[in-house]
Amino acid sequence: MSVVVRGLTKHYGADHAPAVSDVTFQAPTGGITALLGPSGAGKSTVLRAIAGLERVDAGNVIIEGQDCSNTRIQDRNVGFVFQNYALFDHMTVADNIGFGLRIRGRNRSKIDQRVTELLELIQLPEMRRRFPAELSGGQRQRIAFARALAVEPKVLLLDEPFGALDVKVRVELREWLRKLHDEIRITTLLVTHDQLDAFEVAEHVVVLFDGKVAQAGAPHTIYDKPVTSRVAQFIGGGNMMATGARATRTLTALRDSGYPHASEQHGQVQVLVRPQDLRLAKPTQETLAEELGVVEQLRRIGGYMRVTVRLADGQDVEVECPKSQLDELGITQGDRVRVDVREAKVFVNDYAI
C-alpha cells in the first residue's frame, strides 16, 4: 500500500487526447513496480505526477497513506532518477550525492559519512572527487541513484533509467539495481518501454496503453494471461493469427487440442501463439493438408533457431526451438513440416477468453 495512484488524469491541451486518463494502481511496499508501455503511453507523466513534477487535472497520489496531491515537490521526499542522469555538472560526485543533505542543513561530517556509505553501496568509492563529465554513462546513472537515495526517500522513482545506456551496460545495471534493491528494499517505481527491464527487475507490472491501465499484476501473470491481444503482443511478441478465415482455420486445429472454443459468431477472433509455443515435426501419413507448412527461412540466434514457416493458408509463422532439436529432426530450408501448437491465446473482440 505504499504508493497508491487513484484516478489520475492529465490533459496537455484542451484539444489533445488526455495523456493520462483515470489511471489507478497500487505499488506494493518495498517492491519494484514497473510501469510498462510503448512511448507516448503516459508512463512518464504518471511518474512525474507522483513526484509532483507534473500538475494533474484530476486524481490523487497517496504515499504511505498520505495524500500528497497538494504537497510541494520539495516536501514529498521522493527520489527521482532521470533517463539522462541530470547530474549537477559543476559539482563533484560527492557534492552531487550530498546535495539533498546540504539543502537540509545536515552537518558536514554527517554528510561526508553518508556520501562514503553511498559510494560504497554503488561500488564507486574512488570516484568521490571526480566530476560527472569524467564518468561513463553507467557510472553517472549509479551516482544519480546514490544522489536520490541520500535523502532516504519514501519512494524511488526511476524514469527510463537504463534508456540512455548501451545494451551491455543496461543489462549490468539492471542486475545491479535488482541486487541493490534486495539490500535496501525501498518502494520503487520504474518506467520503461522495454519488457525485459520490467520482467527482470519488477515484482509488479502495470501495463499502460494510450494513457490507460491495460493490465496490472505479477509479470508471469501478465505473460501467461494477457487480458487483451495488444498486451499479449506487447509483452511477448509472437504470431498473431489474424481475424476471419485464417483464425478460424487455426482454431479448427486448436479445438482438437482442447483450447477455448470461439467462433466468429462471437465477434472478431484473434489467436496469438508465441514462437516458443510452436513445435515443428516431420509430417506423417495422418497429417492434414492445413497443418502442413514449408520452411522458408532459418536464422540462428545463439543456441536457438528462429524458423519461418509458411502455412498452407499462405500465412507465415515464426517458430523458436533449440538448435539441437532442429538438428535431430534434420529440417532444412524448403522442407515440408507439421506445426503443432502447444499453447495459444484466443481473443474475442480483443479480450482474452
Of residues 136 through 195, those in contact with another protein by CB under 8 A are 144, 147-148, 150-151
Binding segment (CB under 8 A) for another protein, from list 78-86, 185-193, 286-294, 315-323: 78-86
E-assigned strand segments in 93-165: 155-159
Which position among 104, 178, 261, 336 is part of the footprint of another protein (CB under 8 A)? 104
* Eight-state DSSP code of residue 228: B
Phi then psi for residue 67, to 5 deg, are -75, 115
CB of 157 to another protein, least distance (A): 8
Contact 21, 41 (CB under 8 A): no
Of residues 83 through 102, those in contact with another protein by CB under 8 A are 84, 86-90, 99-100
Contact 42, 8 (CB under 8 A): no
**Number of residues in contact with another protein, rule: CB under 8 A?**
27
Which lies closer to another protein via its Cβ, residue 66 or residue 349? Answer: 66
End-to-end CA gap in the chain? 30
Contacts of 109 (CB under 8 A, 6+ apart): none
Which lies closer to another protein via its Cβ, residue 152 or residue 166? Answer: 152
Binding segment (CB under 8 A) for another protein, from list 21-29, 47-55, 161-169, 246-254: 47-55
Which lies closer to another protein via its Cβ, residue 44 or residue 215? Answer: 44
Phi then psi for residue 43, to 5 deg, are -60, -50
For residue 114, state whether it binds another protein (rule: CB under 8 A): no
Strand order in the sheet with 278-281: 278-281, 336-341, 292-301, 304-311, 316-322
The amino acid at 106: R
Q: Give me the residues that bind another protein (CB under 8 A), please.
A: 51-53, 73-80, 82, 84, 86-90, 99-100, 103-104, 144, 147-148, 150-151
